[in-house]
Amino acid sequence: MEPLVQLAIIWAGVFVASVLAHKTRLTSVLYFLAFGAVMVNVGILPTETEPFIRGVAELGIILIMFALGFEENTRNFIRSIKRSWGIAFFGALAPFFTAYFVADYFWDDTRISIMCGLTMTATAVSLTMVSLKGLGLQTSHAAMGIMTSAVLDDIASLALVAVLVPLATGQATLDPVSISLIVGKALLFFGGVALVSAYLLPHDLEGWVAKIPLIGRFGARDLLHTGDGEHSTLTVMLMALVVGLLAHEFGFHPAVGAYMAGLILREEYFLFDPKRARESYKETKAIVDNAAFSWVGPVFFVDLGTKIVLDWDIFVSIIPESMTLLVGLFFAQIISAAAAARYTGNFTFHESMLIGFGMLGRAELAFVVMDIAYIQNNILSTEAFYTLMFTAFWLNVAVPVTITLWKPRYDRAQQALEAQPP
């Protein structure tokens, strides 16, 4: 019964954390981590995770990443790439190298430096969109730029995790053959997912593909329509798990596959009943989101929080590393993203700065990388892990603060633009 008691405690904490997140308009991830840290340090939760809880946490990673991919509108995403590619590229490159060189300076370990760079590359789009929604800016051009750039960052980060983690863990060496093999496996996996998305899932295929037996006649819509759509949630969950397991067979983390599975699923595949149309998609998405962000996924973050055992000596010792990394990332992220938005995306100055502030957050994917590096593969040192946690926490706090402070100037600039004669 002990694991079930621990699960009950975790779920109680998740409930309280969710309420606090709603009240403060901060990402609930921060409160999940804080709850785990408090519970382990007062002795309520153990420092060594029960296998059952760890299993639920690993399932939570897969659900979270699938839900994040499933949330994206593929068509809108593709249309926005042309304007947002620069934000994603330069807005990810600057924090990666900032984190890499800071880690290299303090710890002089290439493996730690690589994982620190990967951790600080992906943007927490959910936190930014919540902050923008609270200020009525969720439909602005800047919000779309942030959304698209963050998705591109996530995809690039996942690809880098797939390629670099085997090198960092020692499963592969830095010789040309090993690197070529890893890159080839990554291209094969992501290329295979793209082919499935283009030629197997669509319902109405054309050309030579339509003539292939079974494949040419049946698509994702037929699969989801099984049992009048009553099993659509089970179907998409199974797809997420299967693609996640396939990614694992290629040597990648299952979360990589789960995210890609969500990204290639489209809303149109659920439109198998004209009378219900969008309802089936909304119902399935609601169930997936509820599992990922309300009761299964949060177990992962609480479990990760239990690794933060309070040690005054460690906290004092990482102050120089944490402050250097935090200040460096704060300015590197804002300057790189804002400059890219201004000069590659043709956003206005006030929109570009808003994008820069919106790209500061670090949430789901960052903590997935920390879990892979610290808990699963023991790459990060304790000091590096605490430094990344501290930095991610304050970068997340900076998002709503900076956006709120910038909004008055943003509104004045928007009003001035609207007042100009056409």
* Domain extents in the chain: 2-417
Mean pLDDT of the chain: 81
Give tens-digit pLDDT for 270-281: 776 666 555 778
Query: How far is residue 134's CA from residue 25's CA, in Å, rounded to a whole number?
Result: 8
The top-level CATH class assigned to 2-417 is: mainly alpha
Give tens-digit pLDDT for 31-50: 888 899 899 999 999 988 88
- The CA angle 310-37-47, to the nearest 5 degrees, is 80
Whether the predicted pLDDT of 158 surpasses 60? yes
- Residue 76: pLDDT band by 50, 70, 90 thresholds? low
- Residue 139: pLDDT band by 50, 70, 90 thresholds? low
DSSP 138-204: TTSHHHHHHHHHHHHHHHHHHHHHHHHHHHHTTSS-SSHHHHHHHHHHHHHHHHHHHHIIIIIS-SS
**Is residue 271 within 8 Å of residue 278, measured between CB atoms?**
yes
**Is residue 367 within 8 Å of residue 304, measured between CB atoms?**
yes
**Is residue 91 within 8 Å of residue 120, measured between CB atoms?**
no
Q: Please state, for a pLDDT cut of 90, what percent of the chain lies above it.
A: 22
Locate 381 and state its tokens.
């040192």
Average pLDDT for residues 356-370, to the nearest whole number? 81
Locate 2 and state its tokens.
């002990």
Q: Which residue has the higher pLDDT, 151 or 404?
A: 404
Whether the predicted pLDDT of 61 surpasses 60? yes
Read off the pTM: 0.72
Whether the predicted pLDDT of 138 surpasses 80? no
Q: Which residue has the higher pLDDT, 197 or 275?
A: 197
Q: Residue 234: count other Cβ atoms within 10 Å of its Cβ.
A: 13
Whether the predicted pLDDT of 201 surpasses 60? yes
| Residue 351 φ/ψ, nearest 5 degrees | -70, -40
Locate 58 and state its tokens.
């690993």
The DSSP H or E segment spanning 331 is: helix 319-343
Query: How far is residue 82's CA from residue 98's CA, in Å, rounded to a whole number?
Result: 26
**Is residue 295 within 8 Å of residue 11, measured between CB atoms?**
yes
HSE at residue 199, side-chain half, CA atoms within 13 A, is 12
Three-state DSSP string of 195-231: HHHHHHCCCCCCHHHHHCCCCCCCCHHHHHCCCCCCC
Q: What pLDDT score was predicted for residue 365? A: 74
- Residue 241: pLDDT band by 50, 70, 90 thresholds? very high
Query: How far is residue 239's CA from residue 253's CA, in Å, rounded to a whole number?
Result: 16
Give tens-digit pLDDT for 281-298: 888 889 998 998 888 988
Task: State the helix-helix crossing angle for 125-134 and 141-168, rounded to 10 degrees.
Answer: 160
Q: What pLDDT score was predicted for residue 328? A: 96
Q: Which residues are within 8 A (CB) of 237 and not within 5 positions of it... i.e. 6 or more apart?
A: 63, 66, 288
